Structure 1
Amino acid sequence: MFGRKQDPPPTVDAPVVDEPPLPAPAGKGRPTPTRKEAEARNKRPLVPTDRRAAAKEARAKARVQRDLEYQAMRNGDERHMPARDRGPVRRFVRDAVDARWNLAELFLPLAAAFLVLQFVTASSAPVVAFASLIVLYVFIIASVVDAWLMWRGLKRRLVAKFGEDGLPRGLAMYAVMRAYQVRPSRLPKPQVKHGQHPA
């Protein structure tokens, strides 16, 4: 136990076998750059050296992006639409508004006609001008009530289809503003006809 360690047993040399040499590890062929060199390579000036050329290039890129978005809004390609118009929920809202006959879409033409009528009859027939003003206000109130009823029914359908959590914010304003636009001037262009309500 406390004695001297015994010598290990003699080992027998194994026969030497010729093995093929291992392939040399393939390196990247260049030294690893220092941190200082890597940072210097990644540095870019905050302000471009040629501001005029940079501004011209930025304007050209913005113009190409605007043209792409405009064409997408005309043909219904959602991949290139602005972010506020993308997604199945927004498409459902657009289709629901476009399929419905809205009083609000007649607001701009009727308002222009009533204003012209007031301007023409203001001095010659003030009673007609006052009556046209009253009719215009009644139509405005009716269109607001109609838009509210539209959103109330649309929200119920959206919750049933997508769930309460799947609805992004701002949908009410999105639907109402689209309803107040004249149908031919709406962007993205309507993809359904009147009466073709989305499922």
Structure 2
Amino acid sequence: MANNPTPTDAPGTGDTAASGAPKAGKGAPTPTRAEREAARKRPLVPNDRKEAARQARQQAAESRERARVGMAAGDERYLPMRDRGPQKKYVRDYVDARFSIGEVLIPVMFLVIILTFIPSYEVQTIGIFALWGFFLVSVVDVVILGVVLRRKLAAKFGAEKVEKVRWYAAMRALQLRPLRLPKPMVKRGQYPA
């Protein structure tokens, strides 16, 4: 029967017994549970608390630095959830490849603030109207960008795979190019395939 070992199945009668090699044991008794726990014990509070705190700060700083560099480089592991995925990468590359009117919105606003310090009422009025006109042109540019991107994403990934990316594209298009995170990975005019 299968439950009753035959003399050929008995331990010690296999190849090792035939070759004459002695059977080696563990060489030591099994440690008791108390011995194993004692060997694993570590102090709850380190002996040098200042050194432990310094090491913890250093490890946290290294971790933050790795995350910062990874995010700037566009590494998926370090990106926030809003920036992850192939659709978002496509949007980032498309927005970074084109010139958006909104990129210069912040410098224009700064210029209008400076113009408001000029005591001439006409100069201030022209500056404010120019700012509003520039803002409206930026909004139209962003709306056109959203429509074009939605079509391109539907063609590339399928209509059901297109996430709501218009707002993401708009916010990226309105930022100055050097201040964008993740940093632009493509040059101007280098549109994604």
What is the TM-score when the length of structure 2 is the normalising length?
0.68
Distance 1:115 1:59, change over 3 A: same
Deviation at 1:87, TM superposition (A): 2.8
Given candidates 109, 112, 135, the residue that maps to 1:111 is 109
Partner of 1:134: 129
Deviation at 1:198, TM superposition (A): 0.8
Give yes or no for contact 1:68–1:80 (8 Å, CA) kept in 2. no
Distance 1:174 1:119, change over 3 A: same
1:82 aligned partner, one-letter code: L
Q: 2:91, 2:114 → 1: CA distance?
A: 34
| Structure 2 residue 169 is the aligned partner of structure 1 residue 175 | yes
Distance 1:80 1:127, change over 3 A: same
| Structure 2 residue 78 is the aligned partner of structure 1 residue 81 | yes
Mapping 1:83-98, distance limit 5 Å: 83-84=80-81, 85-98=83-96
Partner of 1:4: none
Q: How many residues align?
A: 175
- Consecutive unaligned residues of structure 2, counting only runs of 5 or more, are 1-12, 18-22
Deviation at 1:104, TM superposition (A): 0.6
Deviation at 1:62, TM superposition (A): 3.6
The structure with the largest alpha-carbon Rg is 1
1:133 aligned partner, one-letter code: I
Given candidates 63, 66, 81, the residue that maps to 1:65 is 63
Deviation at 1:81, TM superposition (A): 3.0
Give yes or no for contact 1:93–1:175 (8 Å, CA) kept in 2. yes
| Structure 2 residue 188 is the aligned partner of structure 1 residue 194 | yes
What is the TM-score when the length of structure 1 is the normalising length?
0.67
Give yes or no for contact 2:97–2:191 (8 Å, CA) kept in 1. yes
Distance 1:143 1:58, change over 3 A: farther
Deviation at 1:102, TM superposition (A): 0.5
Q: 1:187, 1:104 → 2: CA distance?
A: 16
